[in-house]
Amino acid sequence: NILSDIVYIICVYANNRDDKRRSTVRTRDQEEFQRKKIMLMEKCYDCYAENGLASVGIRKLAESCGCSSAVLYIYFRDLDDLIVQSFADLHLHAPQYPMLGTGMDLPLLDWLNTYAFPTEDLMRFIDEIPYWTARQHGKKYRLMYQVYTHPKYIRYGKQFFEGVNRRYTEYAKSLEPKLGIPYTTITPLIFILIQTCVHYAMFEDECYLQSQLEALKQAIRLFMTQYRTEDARPDVKAES
């Protein structure tokens, strides 16, 4: 009986060790699968951005990835699945929104905390970011609108912009103590800047750009003056 118990314990220990080893292998395999998938999505995205949505098929994508079409079908059900997943992942993680952009070496909020105050530096940032966005991401924005305005993908576009709205509202909340302006006022100003950056990145419309930036900068100055004046008034402080 004792010998049987010892054998049983040894077997249990060996099985547990094998289970852990198999689990480790599965984890590594999953990580490698995901790493490869992300790499394929990035290459496919770049291929679409360079050539346009309509002129690219599965063979062209496979060629740009350096693999066969069959390999792509291991990772994606079909071409639609590849497009949807590629856009969802890359637009979530890649720094291609202007407000996730740089100044030009830090994320926006870090940049603002480091460089963008006083007001003159913030205005310089607003003047520079559309050109940086156009240089870095013009092709990607044109592709994004090709995809998200397509009848097959428009629902994914709605989901994407719902997420954008939430993120920019959080940015506005972070900026409120710096600018001294309520986030409910900052949020639409951010949307104006974003739309201006995207429009310029796609069409390089200098007239539209300058008119929007001038209106935006005037609005920021007026709001900053208004709320700083209100903060300095004793009667306003008493009411709050």
* Nearest CA-CA partner of 97 in 170, 36, 185, 17: 170
- Secondary structure element (H or E) that encloses residue 225, with its range: helix 206-232
What is the Cα gyration radius of the chain? 26
Q: Cα–Cα distances in Å, from 58 out to 68, 69, 84?
A: 9, 6, 14
The rounded distance, in Å, linking the Cα atoms of 64 and 43 is 7
Given a cut of 50, whether residue 96 has pLDDT beyond it is no
| Cβ atoms of 138 and 202 closer than 8 Å | yes
pLDDT band at 22 (very low <50, low <70, confident <90, very high): low
- Min mean pLDDT across 23-37, 66-80, 125-139 is at 23-37
Read off the pLDDT of residues 72-84 as tens digits, 9 standing for 90 and up. Answer: 999 999 999 999 9
End-to-end CA distance of the chain: 81
* Nearest CA-CA partner of 101 in 127, 140, 136: 136
The pTM (predicted TM-score) of the whole model is 0.72
**Can you give the pLDDT at residue 105?**
45
pLDDT band at 211 (very low <50, low <70, confident <90, very high): very high
**Can you give the pLDDT at residue 7?**
53
The rounded distance, in Å, linking the Cα atoms of 227 and 40 is 49
The rounded distance, in Å, linking the Cα atoms of 52 and 147 is 10
Q: Of 50-54, 117-121, 202-206, which has the strongest mean pLDDT?
A: 202-206
**Can you give the pLDDT at residue 100?**
43
Mean pLDDT of 170-198: 90
**Can you give the pLDDT at residue 237?**
53
Q: Which amino acid is at 139?
A: K
| Cβ atoms of 141 and 202 closer than 8 Å | yes
| Cβ atoms of 117 and 203 closer than 8 Å | no
- Secondary structure element (H or E) that encloses residue 178, with its range: helix 154-179
User: What is the token pair recorded at 2?
Assistant: 């004792």
From the centroid of its chain, how far is CA 17? Answer: 41
